[in-house]
């Protein structure tokens, strides 16, 4: 994993999330019943299919392909927010 991250110290001072995928660096912030996870990928990474409760996300840099209920879409830095 690279040593310099995209995220500022206010994010990286938190614990790293345990995400068992090579090439992913992530930081976890927990507050009450909420979690905030900031994820950074150092190369093209395929995350295995999985499920979880409702989620909201923003692409800060680059792009990603996301598939939900069999429908794939490309999400990019500008103008694309996933609800």
The C-alpha atoms of residue 61 and residue 63 are separated, in whole angstroms, by 7
pLDDT mean across residues, the chain? 84
Q: pLDDT tens digit string along 30-53? A: 999 889 999 998 888 888 888 888
Whether pLDDT at 81 is above 90: no
How is the chain split into domains, by residue range? 1-48, 51-83
Give dist(CA 43, CA 25) in Å, integer: 11
Percentage of the chain exceeding pLDDT 70: 88
The runs of H, that is alpha helices, within 1-83 are 9-12
What pLDDT does residue 8 have?
Answer: 92
Kindly report whether the global pTM for this prediction surpasses the value 0.85: no
Question: What confidence tier does 28 reach under pLDDT thresholds 50, 70, 90?
Answer: very high
> How far apart, in whole angstroms, are the C-alpha atoms of residue 76 and residue 28?
22
Query: What pLDDT was estimated at residue 47?
Result: 83
Q: Which two tokens stand for residue 74?
A: 């490309």
- DSSP-derived secondary structure letter, 74: E
């Amino acid at each position: 994993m690279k040593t310099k991250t995209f995220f500022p110290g206010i994010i990286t001072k938190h614990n790293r999330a345990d995400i068992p995928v090579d090439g992913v660096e992530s930081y976890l912030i927990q507050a009450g019943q909420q979690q905030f996870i900031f994820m950074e990928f150092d190369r093209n990474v395929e995350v295995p299919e999985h499920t979880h409760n409702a989620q909201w996300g923003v692409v800060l840099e680059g792009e990603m392909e996301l598939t939900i209920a069999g429908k794939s879409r490309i999400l990019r830095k500008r103008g694309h927010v996933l609800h």
